[in-house]
Structure 1
Amino acid sequence: MSRKKANNVPKKVAPSASENTSQANASKHNLSSRIAKAKTIPPRRAANSLTRQCIADYEQDLDASRLVVIQAPAGFGKTTAMMQLVDADRRMGNAVAWLTLDDSDNDVSRFLRGFTLAMANANPETPLPGTSTSRNAELANWIIDSIEAAENPTSIYFDNFEVLQNPVVIGLIQRGTNSLPPGSRCIIGSRRSPDLGLAKLRAKGQLIEFNANDLRFSQEEAASYLSSQRGVNLNTQQLNHLYSSTEGWAVALSLASMALHGRSNTDEFINSFSGSNAAVASYLAEDVLSALPEDVQKFLLQISILDEIKEDLCNALCQREDSLTLLQQLYEQNIFVSLADEQNQIYSFHALFHDFLSNQLRKEYPQEVAILHARAADVYLADDRPIPGIRHCLKSEQYTRSIELIRKNTKRFLNDGRLRLLAGFLAYLPNSEIESNPDLKLIKAWSTAFTRSPREALNIIGELNPEALTNDDTANLMVLRPMLLGMMDNIDEGHQLGLDALPIVSKDNHFARAMLSQALTQTSIIMGEHDAARGYVDQARGSESGGAGTFGAVLAESAEGLLDLMKGHLKQATQRMRHAMDTFSASRKGDRRGITLAAIQLGEALYEADEIDEARKLFDAYAPLVRDIGPADALISAHVLHARILFDTDHDSAFELLTELENRGHALQLPRVVASARLQRANFWLSNSNIDGADEQIRLAEQGFNWPDLSTRWYIANDSLTPEICRLRWNLRSGKVGLALPKLRDALKEAERTQHVRRALKLRILLAEAQHEDGQRNMALRTMGRAVRMANEEGFIRTFIEEGPKVTALLRDMQQQGSDADFSLGENLERRLSSLSQQTNAAVGNMPADPLTPKELQVLALLAEGLSNIAMSERLFVSESTVRTHLRSINLKLNAGNRTEAVVIARRMGLIT
């Protein structure tokens, strides 16, 4: 468990709550009408609840943490521990956002809506993004903005984290946790260890962990709990025996106290009791349940099918009118139910009890399960809540009715981007129902394309007979096929199929037409048919009904922004992409993938202009949304550019992102994605002077994908990330300047001829470096001067800085020629170079008092290459123990907490390049 002490972060006083505007109230109502309020407010903590010492001991360390994980099996008091931390956070002035997770949160849209409402509850004065029709990307962006804009730090609580299976949702939480501002943190309660990169946070001292052993009651706590909260007074011998048998397990103590109420044979019960596993909880629950009146027993069993326990639902399920009175009585008697939302009288079960009651219902009343779900479906559908309504309808096995409901809402779900939700609904249906209904098979293909795999979706539609579909469904099928091929990087075939579909798909089918416009625009850009791409953009702009007008505007601006960016018009590209985002946010209509791609493209433009913080925020929010499906260019850009940003301060995280990109490329069978990850890894290794490793990665990238002629193929993510440019850079950095010079000149001429202006800028920078290495100083300055003039006009900065110290040295050389207009750096580059100089000077002025030995410097250089201890020992011909000794000495001299920090500090000090 982390014992890092808290930073001296000034405590802020929480602001008093003010009146929200009517618009904010309306927005909050629209969101909350689709999300159970109980999910987004912390459970109420009893005034006399027991303070857990294991939690109190670490309250002083909270400000130093980025993540708190409370991980234990059911019944160990995870939620109670989290409630104690909520109190601590509120005392420190932190805003508290709470979300109790359930299976439905594996749907990205559902999760983001719940998270948004939780954030709105935490910071009620922050304007909400809009209504329940807001798209995923917009909500993710709003969440990040609201955390950063909040006057006080925010503590974000996720209870029942173990229910999350969707890697996109988990990825959003992981990236968000890593990007939290100082003082803010994430607190997670889970039955299993969350997959959130705990090792890295643990190494940095930013993780506090509690496990089952930490949460076990001490004997003193057990005695206090039983007497003060449960009203059970035992003598010392009885208490010792009960504590020994329960081993401090909270739920076992609670259940035992229930069973002891009203018993005269206390000693007999305690002597026969064993509370060491979940089976005991079931036994005690059965024991307590059997003591209740028969009608109350059945009431509890019947309502166990519910996730939110409310009066109207309970009355409908149980065919009675006194459900609220019964729930209040059970709550007051501490039997089975807790009050989740006092204002709205919403109750909940403890998870262990819920499982037990559900199992008992299936055993005792199997014939009623379907009937109860059908009644619940009726209530939700009457309340215009189709999502829980369809879920209960499916569980009631009313498949005909369920299919009609799915059909009725499919257009709405597609337009809302709720494809994972559709996939979940279809998973409940027998496969025979899907196979016998071609329209359901088509829905399955759409949902599979955007939740699992475009390739799997293509296999599904390969089995479809278009003659069995309606006209609209036939159009959707004709659009889906070219879109899938484009996502799979099969550009030529996808483009041709899209052209074939264009005259057939009616303009009245707004969804299909918009998706086809998107597919053809993307393939036309990649194929270099830019006039045609603008034509499809104009078609999209001209469609104004059915919500397609907004989509068309987003598509048009982001597509033209891409063309502007690749042709070197950075300012105009940024303006277009911002306009696309603003247009979408203002309307909140259209397809969410359009805004996701536009956001990643905006992140790329901001990266080029050195607006790193905003770019990173966009990649944090939007990269998980393309992780499992692509398309290839968005996947590559989001990961590669994010990795380049991280490389400045955290090499390990940068390389991890490339490994993730490579693995996703393999999983999606996208060889260009795999090759791109290897090309960027080669660039990083060149920065670390790992010449051999970089050479191997470039060769693998060259062999792993059949690269077309990149002078005619405009791959968005591979504008300057090409095997040719990476090989030229490798020649240059490995001393083969004579080989690099003529090839750089030829490549530059070709890039200029084909109007790949951004690529030409990169090649001109490398050519200037090559000329300088070849002793042609004046020629190098003139070449760099031309690059700088072009960059100054448009605001390019990162393309210079990312090439490292030799290029920055050339720029400083130009800086000294300031009287010559041909060598003017311009305000932006001047400011960036000044910042780099200040960092260097600060690092030099902070050199270690005890200098590193030559051998320690060797170890440090190998460490920067990413070598393991064993590999370093083999390279230096010393034992692994000796390497560890050197590493300890390095950490001590540099005041570093771990290997990664040592490398970052050493780079800052100029000890390694």
Structure 2
Amino acid sequence: MTIPIISTKLYIPPPRPNLVIRSHLIEQLNEGLHGRLTLISAPAGFGKTTLISEWAAGCDRPVAWLSMDEGDNDPACLLTYLVASLQTIVTNIGNGVLGLLQSPQPLPIESILTVLLNEITTMPDPFILILDDYHVINAESIDNAIALILERMPPQMHLVIATREDPRLPMAKLRSRNQLTEVRATDLRFDSFEATEFLGPIMGLTLSSEDIDMLESRTEGWIAGLQLAALSLRGHKDASTFIKSFTGSHHFVADYLVEEVLQQQSTNIQTFLLYTSVLDRLCGPLCDMVLLTGVGGNFAPSSSGQEILEYLERNNLFIVPLDNERRWYRYHHLFADLLRQRLRQSINSSLGDEGRVVAELNIRASTWYEDNGLDIEAFNHAVIANDIHRGVRLIEGEGMPLFFRGAVIPVMNWLTSMSQEEMDASPSLWVMFASSLLLVGQLTGVEMKLQAAEKALHSAERDEKTSDLIGHIASIRATLAVSKHQAETIIAESRLALANLHPDNLPVRTATIWALGYAYELQGDRTAAWKAYTEALSISQLIGHVMITIMATLGLGKIQEAENQLYVAAETYRVVLKLAGDPPMPVACEAHLGLARIMYEWNDLDDALQQGLQSVNLAQLLEQTDRVVAGEVVIARIKLAQGEEREATSILVKADHFARQNNFVNQIPYIADAQVLALLYKGNLAEAADVAEKHKRSFSQAKVHLAQGNMQTALSILETLRMQVEEKDLKDEQLKILVLMAVTLHAIGAKVKSIQILKNTLMISQPGGFIRIFINEGILMDRLLREVATLGVMPDYVGKILPEFQAEKIKSEVKAGYPFIQATKSHIEPLTGRELEVLHLIAQGLSNREISEKLFLALSTVKGHNQIIFEKLQVTRRTEAVACARKWGLL
């Protein structure tokens, strides 16, 4: 779900019609464009926003504007608004970033900013990004993000920050590099000349030069103070006496002047100002709602909220328009602060219940925002009102929880601020806290919150709501188990969740059904997994839950791939990539990984490598996931097939270290299988056997025995594996076993059975277009396929596979399946380790029976080795074989 955009935050305030022209400051801002940052830092009321709006209006560069508020302390919210502000200049800039922000896993802000900055580099013209009111930011993560932007800023970008206090940014470094322009309070203060122009022609006062100098001196050129003074002076005939009475700090003067301004307004206007001061932004209907019947029944405005707002603007009463239609406004920040202080004072003196009145005003604002589809703003006002029931309801949302819609940080901040007693009184708060932690990747604190919820629920009456909470708790635990690949736990918790969740709680039910599908997939029950994924996909599409739609589609693609339906699976993975956007969300790493495996099987190694690298790059944006390791294993296999054994081995060493360091035990067996292939590639049979035995990888053990010439042992292992996978109907595993059985039977001379198995294998593999699975078995499979080809078996498919073997020979690649020992002349086919061993015994004069006894091989196996050796050396007799071998340095 996307974060709703309040467009007024992106609105560039227009220059005031009557304005003191500050040419020297405009010139200073223009000169600062050579650097990275312009900082305008001064207390409230010094005209920061007025200055930069005037400058922006006359600047020859495009300007993107963001008026910041407390909600921008949430990284997702800030990034969304940064993109929205840039899109006021270039329409489609940053769409990829918006996609990344919808990832179900917590995303490092540095990675997302890198994507955004890369997109900014494509913008054709220099531009300015203005962040107004930066002082509202108190999150270190946001400061770090802005610091990163400054560090990596493209040359066409210039950043302007307006703030009441210096930001926590690397200012000293920027100063030393002449990359910082600073405009301070001393620069912004009106001098006597500017004060004269402001108080006279603009504010319409007739004052002597002495009075102006005194007022300028008393306010120290503080523009807001001068404006407040001018408004107050309108009601005084003796201006000099009034000005002479000014003393004290800015705060004292401001309180005094606001009181003077307010007292010149009607009772209705004063009340309107005070009561609407609880709002950060104002529009007519919202003000009408807040002042619907007054507070305590003593206020009935004679004009509409829109009319009063227009009156305030006409009378220059510290109100700023936020759009061209004059629908949305805000009070000057200082004015709003003082109004709120005055509101508390007036309530205490009249009604004596400040908390209740302010809460009522905020609840009315919350109601209006909710009715108008702005749930985050509604939640913020509910929090201010301390209305826990409303806050909980808004977080839960209608169909989609609020923390899935860009408000996870505000929700967590609220929950963190609450006492244990308040949380226990509403156990759903503990569950929401756990969900929020899960969403931001803080997994270690989730179980503790779930246990607190269960404890609070222990004494609660069992009804639909408590039952739904019990279900939600179980669903969260199922999700925790998904990250650890714990199938039994996932199933148990998911079934408990579905038994208790309310039928209308579709977001949580859908996530639970998906988790159940993942557990079935882990157990090898692909039929049940397919059913669960299909159901999750159907519901998620109905309610617009994009992430579950993606995850369920991925699940279906993996099952299609496992069923050897490679073309269908590839299309499913491409659907995921479309859903994930461009650039894609990190969850798309799984789709790229699936495509890498498929391209590998189609022997399109270059494309497979590209897909594998994309998968790893995206997976690195996720936290606490083993997807990086899974991608590295596939890349290593591809590198091995390309003949790059050293690089493949290096990748596997790093992957193994990373997996063990992060306790990704689920990936260790797959790393071991790839390590066995790499060792066979190098001819390290003993080490390959040790790795296969250590990890109990039966299929890898069979491959090692075959490479060692232990055909019967290899065949025995494969027969056992075949029965196991056929019982579970694991079609991908069946195919791998049948391929290896075919070459094993052929090697021991059982050609009829070998050819029959290969025929069946070709029928299974042809619909998926498998190629690599045959090439990996090297010359043994090459020879077997050529025999099958002479029988006219599936000529089109076999005719497509056989040329790939020739291409492998041309590239002089050593096959990943077996250690072929290269002869010194390229036209001599390489011999395996076992074949060289037999050749050495032949050279010693041993008979076939003696060789069979010495190597513990069947006589037929030895004869089979002899035949292969003769064919490779292109001879017909033992003596010729020995002579040829000595000629080429094989003996």
Q: Which residue of 2 aligns with 1:348?
A: 330
Give RMSD over aligned pairs.
5.9
Per the TM alignment, residue 158 of structure 1 is displaced from its structure 2 partner at its CA by 1.9
Residue identity in the other structure for 1:547: S
For 1:750 and 1:618, the matched residues in 2 are separated by 32
Q: 1:186 to 1:435 in 2, by over 3 A?
A: same
Query: Paired residue for 1:152?
Result: 125
1:756-793: per-residue Cα shift (whole Å, max 9, x none)?
Answer: 9xxxxxxxxxxxxxxxxxxxxxxxxxxxxxxxxx9xx9
Q: Aligned partner of 1:56: which letter?
A: I
Which among 432, 436, 442 is matched to residue 431 of structure 2?
442
CA distance in 1, matches of 2:670, 2:307: 70
Query: Is the 1:540–1:548 Cα contact (8 Å) retained in structure 2?
Result: no
Q: Within 2, Cα distance between the matches of 1:188 and 1:432?
A: 42
TM-fit CA distance, 1:536: 5.4
- Measure how far apart 1:42 and its partner are: 1.0
**Within the alignment, does 1:370 sit opposite 2:327 as a pair?**
no
Give the equivalent residue in structure 1 for 2:185: 212
Are 1:298 and 2:271 matched, yes or no? yes
What amino acid is aligned across from residue 310 of structure 1 in structure 2?
C
Paired residues for 1:214-613 under 5 Å: 214-274=187-247, 276-318=249-291, 319-322=300-303, 323-365=305-347, 366=354, 368-409=357-398, 411-413=400-402, 416=405, 418-423=407-412, 426=415, 432-451=421-440, 453-465=442-454, 470-484=466-480, 491=484, 496-506=488-498, 511-512=507-508, 515-516=511-512, 539-541=532-534, 543-547=536-540, 551-552=547-548, 554-555=550-551, 579-585=575-581, 595-598=585-588
Q: CA deviation at 1:582?
A: 1.7
Deviation, structure 1 residue 354:
0.4
Between the two proteins, what is the percent identity of the paired residues? 22
Query: What displacement does 1:352 show?
Result: 0.8
1:233-258 per-position Cα deviation (integer Å, ceiling 9, x unaligned): 54443333333333333222322332
Q: CA deviation at 1:211?
A: 3.2
Aligned counterparts of 1:499 and 1:186: Cα–Cα separation in 2: 52
Paired residue type of 1:333:
N
Answer yes or no: is the 8 Å Cα contact 1:540–1:552 preserved in 2: no
Aligned pairs (5 A) from 1:873-892:
none
Give the drift of 1:83: 1.2
Q: Which has the higher Rg, Structure 1 or Structure 2? A: 2
2:182 maps to a residue whose letter is: E
What is residue 866 of structure 2 aligned with on the other side? none
Residue deviations 1:361-407 (CA, integer Å, cap 9, x gap): 11212253233233333433443444333443454455445544544
- Aligned counterparts of 1:600 and 1:164: Cα–Cα separation in 2: 36
* Distance in 2 of aligned mates of 1:174 and 1:264: 53
Q: CA deviation at 1:535?
A: 8.1
Q: Measured at CA, do residues 743 and 480 of structure 1 come closer, stay the same or move farther in structure 2, by a change above 3 Å? A: same
When normalised by structure 2's length, the TM-score is 0.58
Displacement of 1:426 in angstroms is: 4.7
The structure-2 alpha-carbon separation of the partners of 1:215 and 1:378, relative to structure 1 and needing over 3 Å to count, comes to same
Give the deviation of 1:306 after TM superposition: 1.3
Q: Residue 308 of structure 1 contacts residue 346 of structure 1 at CA under 8 Å; is this kept in 2?
A: yes
Does the aligned pair in 1 maintain the 2:376–2:402 contact within 8 Å? no
Q: Which residue identity is paired with 2:329? A: Y
Query: Counterpart of 2:537 in 1: which secondary structure?
Result: coil
**Match in the other structure for 1:80:** 50
**How far, CA to CA, are the matches of 1:401 and 1:559 in structure 2?**
37
| Cα-to-partner distance string for 1:454-473 (whole Å, 9 max, x where unaligned) | 32332111123277564443
The answer on whether the counterparts of 1:71 and 1:210 sit within 8 Å (CA) in structure 2 is: yes
List alignment gaps of at least 5 residues for structure 2.
292-299, 348-353, 562-566, 597-605, 632-656, 676-685, 701-771, 776-808, 814-891
Specify which of 88, 112, 115 is matched with residue 121 of structure 1. Answer: 88
SS at 2:340 equivalent = helix
- Corresponding position of 1:675: none
Aligned residue number for residue 880 of structure 2: none
Distance 1:324 1:297 in 2: 16
Counterpart check, 1:43 vs 2:13:
yes
Report deviation, 1:335. Answer: 1.7
Contact kept? 2:399, 2:507, Cα under 8 Å: no
User: d(CA) in 2 for partners of 1:430 and 1:280?
Assistant: 39
Q: Is the alpha carbon distance of 1:601 and 1:283 closer, same or farther for their aligned partners in structure 2, counting shifts above 3 Å?
A: farther
1:101 to 57, 68, 71: 68
Question: Is the partner of 2:182 in helix, strand or coil?
Answer: strand
Residue identity matched to 2:507: F
Deviation at 1:285, TM superposition (A): 1.7
Show CA shifts across 1:620-650 (max 9, x none): xx95xx6xxx436689999xxxxxxxxxxxx
Against the structure 1 CA distance between its residues 171 and 559, is the aligned structure 2 distance closer, same or farther, given a 3 Å change threshold? farther
Determine helix, strand or coil for the equivalent of 2:453.
coil
Contact 2:557 / 2:573 at 8 angstroms: preserved in 1? yes
CA distance in 2, matches of 1:513, 1:262: 66
Secondary structure of the equivalent of 2:368? Answer: helix
Unaligned runs of 5+ in 1: 1-29, 566-570, 587-591, 639-699, 721-741, 757-789, 794-819, 825-913
Shift in Å, 1:70: 2.2
For 1:437 and 1:63, the matched residues in 2 are separated by: 54
Secondary structure, in 3 states, of the residue corresponding to 1:49?
coil
In the alignment, does 2:49 pair up with 1:67?
no
**Equivalent-residue separation in structure 2 for 1:186 and 1:749 (angstroms):** 61
Partner of 1:409: helix, strand, or coil? coil
The alpha-carbon distance between structure 1 residues 370 and 31, as it changes in their structure 2 partners (threshold 3 A), is: same
Letter of the structure 2 residue corresponding to residue 444 of structure 1: F
Letter in 1 for 2:369: Y
Whichever residue aligns with residue 345 of structure 1, its letter is R
Contact 1:54 1:214 survives alignment (8 Å): no
TM-score normalized by the length of structure 1: 0.56
Shift of 1:135: 3.7
Contact 1:607 1:615 (C-alpha < 8 Å) held by counterparts: no
Which amino acid is 1:66 matched to?
R
Distance, in Å, in 2 between the alignment partners of 1:713 and 1:100 is: 51
CA distance in 2, matches of 1:340, 1:545: 42
Contact 2:42 2:48 in 1 (8 A): yes
Is contact 1:517-1:539 (8 Å) kept? Answer: yes
Determine if contact 2:659/2:667 at 8 Å carries over to the other structure.
no
Quote the offset at 1:342 in angstroms: 3.6
How far apart, in 1, do the equivalents of 2:405 and 2:517 lie?
Answer: 22
Q: Give the Å deviation of 1:548.
A: 5.8
